[in-house]
């Protein structure tokens, strides 16, 4: 999701699952630059929004634990 603040644009993390979640990207003068920043910083596009690298790591760690608990 693109957020606008003081005539600048940023991309918001879709899930915000960790305490160290970035919440939003840096702010830029246009949406295209904000999207370029998250792509450069390796945020994950979920199809519905962007997930920051910190939240992605958290999700991946939990998936591994769940698979282990279920014996997969």
User: How far, in Å, CA of 61 to CA of 64, rounded?
Assistant: 5
User: What is the per-residue pLDDT across 10-69, written as a single tens digit (0 to 9) for each?
Assistant: 999 999 989 999 999 999 999 999 999 999 999 999 999 999 999 999 888 888 875 787
User: How far, in Å, CA of 39 to CA of 45, rounded?
Assistant: 9
On whether the CB atoms of residues 50 and 12 are closer than 8 A, the answer is: yes
Domain count of the fold of the chain: 1
**Domain coverage including residue 15:** 2-69
Residue 43 confidence (pLDDT): 97
Closest CA to 52 of 40, 38, 35, 64: 38
Q: pTM here?
A: 0.81
Residue 65 confidence (pLDDT): 78
């Amino acid at each position: 999701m693109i957020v606008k603040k003081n005539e600048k644009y940023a991309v918001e993390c879709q899930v915000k699952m960790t305490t160290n979640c970035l919440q939003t990207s840096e702010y830029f003068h246009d949406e295209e630059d904000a999207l370029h920043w998250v792509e450069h910083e390796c945020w994950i596009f979920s199809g519905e929004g962007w997930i920051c690298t910190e939240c992605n790591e958290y999700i991946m760690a939990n998936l591994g634990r769940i698979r282990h608990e279920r014996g997969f």
